[in-house]
């Protein structure tokens, strides 16, 4: 049986290695093959079960990955661990989660979820095997998850899907004794599995940040932008766990050692599927982590981890592009004053990555803006077919001109520190010079180079090398022309705004919540969401809007192609909603492809949150007073006193997919004792009418 299993694993390993994506043109992991039955079965679970409800949200988030190379790799490990228990193996399905958080977790339905963040941090296959064995115990012994704290979102679920301390200790012990012992994985790797958990908050490696990544021979940044001392990485394995659901790492590590140190490790393997295949899977997971960092605007992590990988893969196009895109994202946030929303303070960072968090926090807005321009342009020159880099570079140039008030003639043609020797030009033929007309003299006048002056700062030397690139100069001029054209067009359009007409619009299922005392009432939320969806469909039909609906309930009938489209839409929305200002979004090209496939130009997002107000309020007593002292108004005001008031917050946004810009946006808060459903329906219809027909100002 074990020999047959080894042959199967070897065969599938070869298939996995041959199905690797092009890392130079990496665009994110996609699911493949047939949607697993376990995926569909999730949507038959009751919404009343909190764990089942969170499970549905996870599947509907677009984070789940199936049928990909990483899934097949984990399936092989699982087959090795459960070679002697085929019945249990058939009850378990492993899913990969496109999340950079380092975690793995299991549910009583027989699902094991492994985040790509964990695969990115593992150093060998046997470490992953022990973690999977730990999760198998939770399923086999039917361990119930600890109830999550109120108001915790999906990200919390991805990071903190915890069991009790007793169950965690049991899972470690039985994982080792039952499943790991019966496999051929090395016991020595178990210690490394605990290292993954202990240092989960760190980047892929702890390498010094090289100044050459952001400096050139033409300019250097002030030394004050660099830390003299880096905060060392501190061990936290022996923390106090009295109030924690998990025992501390030291106790778990020690308990595991007491078991496996007495066992013979001879002939046991760190890699069953070959180290080469593991390296491929680890690299794939790390690229996906960088991809997710960029989507969620975690640009500090994206940049540093791309720098780490670039030191061993210096020619990789995607890593160079990722670094440029990260700097662009940091610049956009810094321009609008929201840098601290996406870049943690350096004081909270340990290890070498603390330096880049400090650097990007200290560098000035103009310097970061121009650094983004030169990084994007350099990346674009190496990858000239990449439209995203070019559009980002153009947008950064626009910021340079409009927000930082810099033009090409503000940048030196000489490196910082160059001594300029003035040259004297002798006029040898005054007569012929004066005989020329002014146009001839203008044409023959050499281009004057910009020389350094006392007012020049670092930023004024940052384009020395690319100012001589004719294509770059042309792009700057074209951007200036576009700015002028946009200003003129804005004046022309200041009167009326066109509607979407017959252009296609994709309407996402409305986000609907009924909240009482800060808790979601699931039954009313489900009913309200379905009613609102029905209302929107009716309104779209009456207004003759060319619209398609994307609803979570459709998951049961999805194909893998449709599911991948849904995932890319969710990624784009995460990207778009991470910043309030205009910018070129990382997922712009991906969403354009989806828009072409679905034949839609616009995407609408609707959110309705309804919460019942207090029965007794100042306004109600005011109505009662009016009714008492002015009986004539009693029939109007008195009923309001006895009716419960509800507050509804409605947000309706339409985004133009091509540009990523908001085409239409409305937000209203309604507080009334009358039917909230009728009022919400009326507002939604009015919004859709304005989107279809346009607005007059």
**378 and 487 within one domain:** yes
> What CATH number does residue 635 fall under?
3.30.160
Name residues whose C-beta falls within 8 Å of residue 354's C-beta, 6 or more positions apart in sequence.
227, 230, 231, 346
Residue 685 lies in a domain: yes
Low-confidence ranges of the chain (pLDDT < 70): 1-20, 47-51, 145-164, 235-247, 422-447, 488-497, 578-581, 613-645, 672-676, 695-697
Supply the pLDDT for residue 244. 45
User: What pLDDT is attached to residue 628?
Assistant: 60
126 inside domain: yes
Phi and psi angles of residue 94, each rounded to the nearest 5 degrees, phi first: -100, 130
Residues 274/555, Cβ–Cβ less than 8 Å = no
Q: What is the reported pLDDT for 656?
A: 87
Same structural domain, 72 and 196:
yes
Q: What is the tally of structural domains in the chain?
A: 3
In terms of Cβ atoms closer than 10 Å to its own Cβ (0-12, 13-18, 19+), residue 110 is: middle
Whether the CB-CB separation of 622 and 662 falls below 8 Å is answered with no
- Residues 549, 489 share a domain: no
Is 510 part of any domain? yes
Distance CA 268, CA 241 (A): 34
pLDDT score at 517: 72
Say whether 508 sits in a helix, a strand or coil: strand
Rounded Cα gap, residues 557 and 568, in angstroms: 18
Q: Containing H/E element for 497?
A: strand 496-498
Q: Could you tell me if 454 and 597 lie in one domain?
A: no
Cβ contact 350:236 at 8 Å: no
Could you tell me if 421 and 557 lie in one domain?
no
Same domain, 441 and 469: yes
In a domain, 389, yes or no: yes
Q: Which residue has the tokens 């400090």?
A: 358
Q: For residue 359, what are its two tokens?
A: 């650097």
Decide if 235 is inside a domain: no
Q: Say which residue the tokens 């001839």 belong to.
A: 440
Q: Are residues 158 and 111 in the same domain?
A: yes
Tell whether the torsion through CA atoms of 259, 262, 264 and 268 is positive or negative. positive
Choosing from 494, 524, 559, the residue where a domain stops is 494
Q: Is residue 257 part of a domain?
A: yes
Name 647's bridge partners: 611, 671
Residue ending a domain, among 494, 523, 544, is 494
Per-residue model confidence (pLDDT) at position 478: 94
d(CA 418, CA 281): 49
What's the distance, CA 458 to chain centroid? 32
For residue 564, give its domain range: 505-696
- Cα(61)–Cα(566) distance, rounded to whole angstroms? 9
Domain presence at residue 309: no
Closest residue by Cα to residue 249 from 177, 192, 189, 186: 192
Query: Could you give the CA distance from residue 120 to residue 101 in angstroms, rounded to a whole number?
Result: 10
């Amino acid at each position: 049986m074990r020999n047959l299993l080894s042959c199967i694993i070897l065969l599938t390993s070869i298939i996995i290695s041959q199905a690797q994506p092009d890392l130079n043109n990496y665009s994110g992991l996609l699911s493949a093959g047939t949607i697993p039955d376990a995926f569909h079965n999730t949507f038959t679970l009751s919404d009343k079960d909190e764990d089942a409800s969170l499970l549905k949200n996870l599947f509907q988030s677009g984070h789940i990955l199936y049928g990909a190379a990483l899934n097949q790799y984990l399936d092989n490990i699982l087959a090795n661990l459960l070679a002697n228990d085929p019945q249990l193996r058939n009850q378990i399905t492993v899913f990969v989660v496109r999340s950079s958080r380092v975690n793995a977790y299991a549910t009583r339905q027989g699902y094991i979820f492994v985040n790509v963040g964990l695969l990115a941090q593992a150093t060998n296959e046997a470490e992953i095997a022990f973690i999977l064995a730990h999760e198998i115990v939770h399923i086999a012994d039917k361990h119930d998850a600890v109830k999550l704290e109120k108001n915790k979102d999906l990200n919390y679920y991805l990071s903190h899907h915890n069991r009790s301390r007793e169950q965690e200790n049991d899972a470690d012990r039985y994982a080792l004794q039952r499943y790991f012992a019966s496999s051929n994985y090395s016991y020595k790797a178990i210690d490394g599995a605990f290292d993954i958990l202990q240092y989960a908050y760190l980047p892929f490696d702890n390498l010094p940040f090289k100044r050459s990544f952001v400096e050139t021979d033409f300019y250097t940044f002030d030394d004050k932008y660099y830390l003299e001392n880096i905060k060392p990485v501190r061990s936290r394995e022996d923390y106090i766990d009295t109030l924690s659901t998990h025992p501390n790492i030291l106790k778990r590590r020690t308990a595991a050692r007491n078991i496996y140190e007495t066992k013979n490790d001879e002939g046991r393997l760190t890699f069953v599927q070959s180290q080469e295949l593991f390296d491929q899977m680890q690299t794939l997971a790390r690229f996906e982590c960088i991809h997710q960092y960029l989507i969620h605007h975690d640009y500090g992590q994206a940049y540093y981890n791309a720098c780490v990988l670039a030191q061993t893969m210096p020619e990789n196009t995607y890593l160079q592009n990722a670094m440029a895109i990260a700097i662009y994202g940091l610049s956009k946030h810094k321009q609008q004053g929201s840098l601290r929303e996406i870049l943690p303070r350096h004081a909270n960072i340990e290890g070498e990555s603390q330096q880049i968090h400090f650097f990007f926090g200290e560098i000035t807005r103009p310097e970061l803006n121009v650094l983004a321009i030169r990084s994007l342009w350099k990346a674009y020159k190496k990858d000239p077919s990449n439209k995203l880099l070019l559009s980002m570079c153009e947008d950064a140039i626009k910021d340079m001109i409009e927000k930082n008030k810099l033009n090409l003639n503000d940048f030196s043609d000489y490196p910082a520190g160059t001594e300029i020797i003035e040259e004297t030009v002798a006029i040898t033929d005054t007569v012929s010079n004066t005989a020329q007309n002014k146009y001839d003299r203008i044409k023959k006048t050499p281009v004057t180079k910009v020389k350094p002056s006392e007012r020049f700062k670092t930023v004024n030397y940052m384009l020395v090398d690319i100012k001589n690139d004719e294509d770059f100069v042309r792009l700057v001029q074209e951007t200036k022309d576009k700015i002028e054209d946009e200003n003129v067009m804005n004046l022309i359009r200041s009167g009326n705004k066109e509607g979407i007409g017959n252009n296609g619009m994709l309407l996402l299922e409305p986000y609907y919540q009924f909240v009482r005392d800060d808790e979601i009432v699931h039954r009313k939320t489900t009913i309200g969401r379905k009613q609102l969806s029905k209302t929107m469909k009716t309104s779209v039909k009456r207004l003759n809007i060319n619209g398609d609906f994307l609803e979570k309930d459709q998951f049961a009938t999805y194909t893998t192609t449709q599911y991948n489209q849904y995932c890319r839409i969710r990624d784009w929305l995460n990207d778009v909603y991470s910043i309030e200002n205009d910018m070129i979004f990382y997922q712009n090209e991906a969403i354009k492809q989806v828009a072409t496939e679905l034949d839609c130009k616009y995407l609408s997002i609707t959110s309705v949150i309804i919460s019942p107000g207090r029965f007794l309020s100042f306004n109600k007593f005011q109505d009662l007073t009016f009714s008492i002292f002015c009986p004539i108004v009693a029939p109007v005001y008195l009923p309001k006193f006895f009716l419960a008031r509800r507050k509804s917050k409605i947000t309706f946004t339409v985004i133009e997919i091509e540009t990523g810009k908001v085409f239409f946006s409305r937000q209203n808060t309604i507080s009334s004792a009358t039917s909230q459903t009728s009022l919400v329906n009326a507002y939604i219809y009015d919004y859709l009418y304005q989107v279809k027909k346009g607005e007059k100002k």
